[in-house]
Structure formats: structure tokens, C-alpha cells
Structure 1
Amino acid sequence: MIISFMKLLFLLLICISSVAYACGDNPNAIIQGPFKDDSFENGYICFQHTPDKRDVEFYLSYESKDGPQNNLVDVFFYSDAPVEVMSVFFAPINTVKSVVVLLRWNVNYEMNGIEYPYYYEVKAYHKHDNGYELKLNSSIDAQLAGYQTKRNSKIISYPLDNAKKIKQYLTENYGT
């Protein structure tokens, strides 16, 4: 009797935890998140691999008057290598709370004696009625993408390679 009760309790806990954090279309593929998103009622954002593990999908899940919503916000595509989500955080851009994502690709290019191990890109999304829309990326601001370089064993990091540096850049260039 006690063993049956324990099994039932265990199953209930598994079911409740999977419902509470339903984000994306495959909870087994999540690589970042779910992160609570107060911009939406019962909102969560998460990032998951596609089935082939080449691309990464950005999802927003929340409650609406029509019931639970699970929206694909963006897809970060394979480009010479699988994409990696290095950092995800919320930051104000022009006083609007935004989701900021730092992506990285292991590209390993070499040209004229300079090695290019990694390519980075920063993307920022503003809330709109039913989700997020892309507001900042390298097409709008060229500083939001670049390479880590290596020449004569000296590594020069991409200037926006972590959340602290990105926040400082966004504050200086896009206010708070």
C-alpha cells in the first residue's frame, strides 16, 4: 500500500512539474530555460534544439484569454557549425524591457595568418501583444556581431562576449 502511494505521488510530481514548465514543443530538447517572463501572464521563455541538433528555437509560453500559448519566436540556424546559446538575460533597450540573446558559432576560419575560432551575434527582442519581435541585431548595429581572432598565439576576444559587456554596451548606446 505504501509503495503504491509513493508511486502515485511520484507520478503526480512529474506531471505537475512538466505542466508548470511547459515551454517549447519538446521538453527533452531544452538547452536554456525555462526562464520566468513577467511580461506575460504565467510567461516563460526557453531555447531548445531542433531534432537534428543543428538549429536552436526560441519559444515563449504564456497564458492568454484563449488558453495556454506556446509561440515560436525565432530560429537560430546552423552556419558552418551548430549554434550555441551562450547567454540569455533581460535588459532595458530605450527603456523597454527586452530579451537579449548572445549566440556563438565555432567557425574555425583562417585567412592571411589570422584564425577566427568563433563568430558571435547579439539579438534583442521587444515584447509585443502576442510575443516578441526582433528589435536589435547586427543588421541594425554592426557592433552586435563579430569574431574572436587569434594571431601568433594571441587571442583577441569579441568585445561583447558576455552579458556584463553587452549590458554596458546597450546602456551606453541605447539608454536605460
Structure 2
Amino acid sequence: MNLRLIGIGAGVLIILSLPLAGAIAGPDIAGQDDGKGGGLLSTLGLSNAPRAASAPPSGPAAVSGRGRPGPGPAEQPRTDSSCGPEVSSPHGVEAQTCVLVGEGRTWGRSYYRNTSGRALDAVLSVMGPAGRTVQIRCAVGAGDEPGLCETPRDDSAGAPESYSAVAEFAVPDDEGELLLRSGSNSPAPSDG
């Protein structure tokens, strides 16, 4: 009789663990949507994240945990970029400069790393059609951590290829020694 009771108990445990095993195998544990219907926490009803319905909704609205239509995830606006090559100086400065275009706006961005051992100034300029120029000065701290300098976003006034950006990294003193210049349309460095 004890073996029969143990067998029945094991069968019940297996049946009860199947939904949990399916939830663990599909979605990730952090509750992020992986395109398979929601995370483990939302599948088990333990988070505020919306649960997916068994059939996809017939419209753009998603189904919330209570079965009512709710807003779907917001679409991220498309951003195009035109970047020059990564360049470095023997003084310990590395940079890559880009022109970005999105939602009818254009701006410049320079990614950098400063291992020179001293704080620097960076001046990032974006040049556009009809002599339009936007410029910003960024303080570049000493250290190995990557950083970025970015101009304000301005209404686009022409085709993306009519814009270019240049970042100049210099010592912030009276002499202003230029250590590196990085451009969005610079040619790739040659190995010669």
C-alpha cells in the first residue's frame, strides 16, 4: 500500500511540475519577453508584466494580465549613423566620430577613451549644408573608461551625406596642444 501511495504522489508531482518546467524552458528567469510569451515571473503571475495570451491579439494592442487590451511596446525611432574609423594617438587618446540622423534631426557624437593620464578638452563640431555649424565643448576626464561627447540635436536641413562631424582632443592650457582629430568622413588609416 505504501508503494501505491508513493506512485500516486510521484505522478501528481510530475503533472504539477509540467507547467513550471515549460515556463522555465521557454522564457528567461528575469521576466524579459523573449518572443515566446513572457518571462517566468509573469507566466507564474508573480510580476506586474503583462502576460501573453494563448493566441496572438488581432490588433496592435497587447493583452494584459487581466485579458483587457493594453498598449503594445513603443517602437523605437530609427537612427542612422555615418561614422569615421576608430583612430588613436600615441598620446593615449582613442576616438570615433559619427553623424546621427533620426526623427528629422541631425547631431554629432564622438566616442572616446582617454588613457593619457591627464584631463583633456574635446570640441565636437557638426557641419551641415548652407554653412550650418553646431559646436560643443566637452570635458574629457583622465582614465580608461569610455565616454562620449554629443552635440544637441538640430532639425535636419539636407541629405544625411551633406553633414560631417569632427572632434578635436587637446590639452586644456594656453598652448592647447592638439592630441587627436577624429572625423565622421575620415578615410580609414592605412597600414603603410
Instruction: Report the TM-score when normalising by structure 1.
Output: 0.27
Report the structure, 1 or 2, having the larger strand content.
Answer: 1
Higher RCO, Cα 8 Å, sep 6+: 2
Which has the higher Rg, Structure 1 or Structure 2?
Answer: 2
Instruction: Report the TM-score when normalising by structure 2.
Output: 0.25
